[in-house]
Structure 1
Amino acid sequence: MSDGSVYQRALGAAFDRLQPQLQDYFSLQPGEGRYGFGTGIFDVAGSPRPALRPLLSAIPVANAFFPDFGRRVPFTISNYPHIDPFGRSSLTAVRTFRFDRADRIFEDTTSLTSPTGLTDYVGRRRNLATDLDLSVSQDGRLHMHSPHTRLFLGRLRLPVPVLAGADAHAEQWWDESAGHFRIRTIVRQRQLGTVFVYDGSFTYEYREFDGVLPPDAEPEKWERRL
């Protein structure tokens, strides 16, 4: 058992200010024998700008951004707490969006890369890395901001320039009146506006987990660079 989840260790005392349901959701840690599984509906999901959708297909990061957009999109999410091959406490998430014409996957691994610092590795090859800044609102919601992004192409490490990069913000909370979780993620680019979004609600449960990632959650390549 580790000394708390990656979110507990990154937030420190602020973790206790989260809504109780969020504390439970973000408490998954390696070695406790369970993973989280959620099902829900995104009110909106994908790229709302038709002209930008072909560009998303050109980004050299598989299983991340996709050229689709829909409303009332069913989805599932699986959250697996584990230790990555480099000994870092991590949480791997696999989200499946069920659009009318195809299923799309968004997968990532969030790793504790310093005593209180998180790096999110995105895509099938985990070759898009971004820092995660966490904060807790006065009403107990979790806010996640990704201010710095870099792309790994082979041996190259390519910082994404601020003006060319996109700014991602996620907010998650427990909707007491509806009895389910809500999540809203928006990726904005300074010149183009919103390029990617998902916003919806889901229910969540825990299932047995032996600590070994299933094949559909194992990335093609692990990344340790920061």
Structure 2
Amino acid sequence: MDPERQPLPGVVSASRMEARTLECAGRRFRPLVNLPTRICGIGSERAARAAQELLAQGCGALVSWGFAGALVPRLRRGDLLVPARVVDADGSGIEVDVHWHRRMQQALAPAPTLCTQTLLQASAAVLTAEAKAALFASSRAAAVDMESATLGAVANAAGVPFLAVRAIVDIHSDSLPVWVAHALDDSGRLAARVVLTGLLRRPGDLSKLLRLARGVAAARASLARAARLAGPRLLAGHDASAPS
């Protein structure tokens, strides 16, 4: 199949920060900048709406692109996760497209750390190391986000390929400030007023916030590098008939 004639995949990211890492692919892979993209905000319902919009637009595959939190010690800030399987909080799982997944693994092989273990979608923000440990014990997943299983389910129902590419922000032992969930707007950005109020009430949270900032910076850099490494494979990798 000619990659230029097949339908483009649609990309769903929770925040503009995550989606903009696709723009770092450089001039050589300029088509990545033009991929149909939806910034959905955090959570399952928003992700489902974004996915349906992309399918209605004519997209022939779906990509979950963005950040995740680690549930296992081996994953560090900035590590890449391209899971072979995504699971929902109720345990239902979706397998990603095997051909696309293999091509992305090949493309991202130069990445220092690439994990292909299961990704869990949580129904609420996971803010403490204890909560992460509990999720790992119940799911055995390597990392957690809040959108990918929904996107996989929509893709599966529509009969189109699905892939997830996520970069780790917070490691398994990190506990985030309890007010962070309230500081995030619908697009995943931190509201400055809530951050300032939280730090005034709990000055000790500054170190946690700085760790979070370092994790975000590392994850952004990894996603940008993934966009550069993947290049055309992100466009054509879901063509199962293409040669390996």
Greater relative contact order, per chain length (Cα 8 Å cut-off, separation 6+): 2
Greater per-residue strand proportion: 1
TM-score > 0.5 by shorter chain = no
TM-score by length of 1: 0.31
**More helix per residue:** 2
